[in-house]
Amino acid sequence: MLKSTTSLVAVLALAGAIGVAWWWQRPKPATPDAPPPRAASAPANAAGSGGAPVVVESSLVRLQPLREDVEAVGSLRSRQGTVVRAEVGGRITQINFRDGQRIRRGQLLVQLDDRLQQAQIQQAQAELSIAQANHKRNSDLVAQGFISQRGVDESAAAVQVAQAKAELARATAARLRVLAPFDGVAGLRNISVGDYLKEGSDIVNLEDMNAMYVDFRLPERLQSRVRPGQTARVRVEALPDRAFAAVVQAVDPLIDANGRSLSVRGCIDNRLQQLRPGMFARVGTRLGDDRQALMIPEEAIVSQGGRQTVIRLLRGAGGDDKPTWTTQRMDVATGTRLAGQVEILRGLAEGERIVTAGQQRIQRDGTAVRLAEAPTPAPAAPAHGAPDGVASSARAASAPAAARAGTAPLPWAPTAAGPGPCGVVAQR
C-alpha cells in the first residue's frame, strides 16, 4: 500500500513540472500596446518574390579611343659624360676654363709644365736635321762613286730614327696639354695653378647636355611592343609643371634575369639646358596608336572562382522616365586595364547597361532593380594632353588623379628651334 502511494505522488509531481514548463513557454497574447514584432530582413532577391526592387548603380558600355601607355621610373644621364683626367704627371702651369663654362671640342683645359719636353723636341729636331744632311751628302757621294750604297742605306735609316725620336718628343709634350674630348659643360674644378697632378688624377667632369638620355625599365611582357621611334612623356620632380618629349632610341636585347625587366633608353632634346644628369624621372611610354575599345568601370567586374562576370541590366516595362530593369549575369573576357577602367574583349556590346555597385544584393538572374540617381560628374581633363574622350591610365601612363579631378594636363616644356639632337620627337 505504501509503495503504491509513493508511485502516485511521483507521477503527480512529474505532471505538475510539465504543466509549469508549458505555462512559461506558451505564446504571449498580443496586446494593443505591444509593438509589432520586427520583420525578418528581406532576402536579397525579395524583388523576385514580390518585394521592392533592389537599388543599384549602373553605367553604360562605351566604345572609345584607348591609349595604351605604360608608366615607369628612371633617371637622366647626359648623352656624353666623362671625367677628364691627366694622362701623365706634372705641375699645372695654366687652367683655361671656368666652373660651369661651355666647352668646345679640342679646347685646351689644362697645361702642365712642358719645359723639359720642349727641350727634348728641340734636341730631336736638331738630330733629325743632322741625319737629313748626312743622308743628302751620302746620296751625292754615291752618285760620284766615292762611297758604297751601304753608306746611303745607313744614312737613310738614321733619318728615320731621328724622325721617330722627334715624333715621340712631340707626342710626350702633347700629353701635357689636356684637351676637351667633346662639346659640353664643365663641372666644378678642384685644382689650381701650381698643383702637381699624378697620372690619372681627376681634373673636371665634362657633360654634353644638349641631349639627355632617360634610362628606365619595363616588364618583360612588353618587349614585343616597345621599339625605337616610339614617343614618351617625361616628368621630373624639379620641374613639376612641365612635361618633356622623348623618343625611344634603343631597347636592350637582354632581359634582366633578376627583375625580369627590359632596359629602355629614350632621348630628350635639352638644348635649353633645363634638365640635369642624375634627375629622377617618371616616364610615360606610348605602346601603340589609339584604338577603339569597349570600356567599362573596373568596379563592375566580379571575380568568382577564376571567372570574371558582369551583371547586365535588361530593360523591362515602364516609361522612359521610370523604366524597370532586370538582371542577367554575363561572363566576360577582359583586356587592357587602365586606372578605373577595363577593356572588354568579349561578352558585352556597346550601349548595354551594367551594374557598378550593389552586386552583392543580387543573388540570381531576373532580379528586379531600380537605378540609383547619381550626380552628374564634372568633365575630367584628358591625361597627359590626350584629346577629349581618350582613355589613359595613371599608373600605366593614363589620367593621373589630378587630371581626373578636372585639372589641366601638364604643358610641354619649350624646346630650341631647328633639328634636335634626338631627331624628330612628336609631342603626343
Residues 196-250 pLDDT 10s: 999 999 999 999 999 999 999 998 888 888 888 888 899 999 898 889 999 999 9
Are 59 and 138 contained in the same domain? no
The pLDDT, as a whole number, for residue 101 is: 93
Q: Which of 152-166, 329-343, 407-421 has the lowest mean pLDDT?
A: 407-421
In a domain, 119, yes or no: yes
| Whole-prediction pTM | 0.58
Residue of higher predicted confidence among 73 and 391? 73
Look up the domain containing 154 and give its range.
Answer: 90-197
User: What sign results for the dihedral spanned by CA atoms 53, 348, 294, 392?
Assistant: positive
The kind and range of the H/E element at 338 are: strand 333-338
- pLDDT above 70 coverage of the chain, percent: 74
The pLDDT, as a whole number, for residue 5 is: 59
In a domain, 78, yes or no: no
Domain of residue 319, CATH code = 2.40.420.20
pLDDT surpasses 90 at 374: no
The pLDDT, as a whole number, for residue 363 is: 84
Task: Order across the sheet with 90-95: list the strands.
Answer: 177-179, 108-112, 90-95, 196-197
In a domain, 357, yes or no: yes
Give the tens place of pLDDT for each residue, 114-132.
999 899 999 999 999 999 9
The pLDDT, as a whole number, for residue 281 is: 94
Residue of higher predicted confidence among 403 and 95? 95
**Identity of residue 335:** G
The pLDDT-based confidence of 414 (bands split at 50, 70, 90) is low
Are 102 and 59 contained in the same domain? no
The pLDDT-based confidence of 387 (bands split at 50, 70, 90) is very low
The pLDDT, as a whole number, for residue 390 is: 36
The pLDDT-based confidence of 388 (bands split at 50, 70, 90) is very low
In a domain, 112, yes or no: yes
CA atoms within 13 A on the CB side of 308: 15
Average pLDDT of the chain, as a whole number: 79
The pLDDT, as a whole number, for residue 415 is: 63
Q: What secondary structure does DSSP assign to 268-317, as a single string?
A: EE-TT----TT-EEEEEEE-S--EEEEEEEGGG-EEETTEEEEEEEEE-S
Q: What is the mean pLDDT of residues 394-406?
A: 34
Are the beta carbons of 362 and 369 closer than 8 angstroms?
A: yes
The pLDDT, as a whole number, for residue 137 is: 86
Give the tens place of pLDDT for each residue, 151-163.
888 888 999 999 9
Give the residue from 118, 115, 109 showing the smallest Cα distance to 86: 109
The pLDDT, as a whole number, for residue 403 is: 33
Give the tens place of pLDDT for each residue, 318-332.
656 677 888 889 899
The pLDDT, as a whole number, for residue 196 is: 94
Q: Final residue of a domain: which of 178, 197, 216?
A: 197
In a domain, 222, yes or no: no
The pLDDT, as a whole number, for residue 401 is: 33
Collapsed DSSP state (helix, strand, coil) of residue 156: helix
The pLDDT-based confidence of 394 (bands split at 50, 70, 90) is very low
Question: Could you give the number of structural domains in the chain?
Answer: 2
Q: What secondary structure does DSSP assign to 5-34, as a single string?
A: HHHHHHHHHHHHHHHHHHHHHSPPPP-TTS
In a domain, 216, yes or no: no
- pLDDT above 90 coverage of the chain, percent: 38
Domain of residue 121, CATH code = 1.10.287.470
Are 117 and 191 contained in the same domain? yes
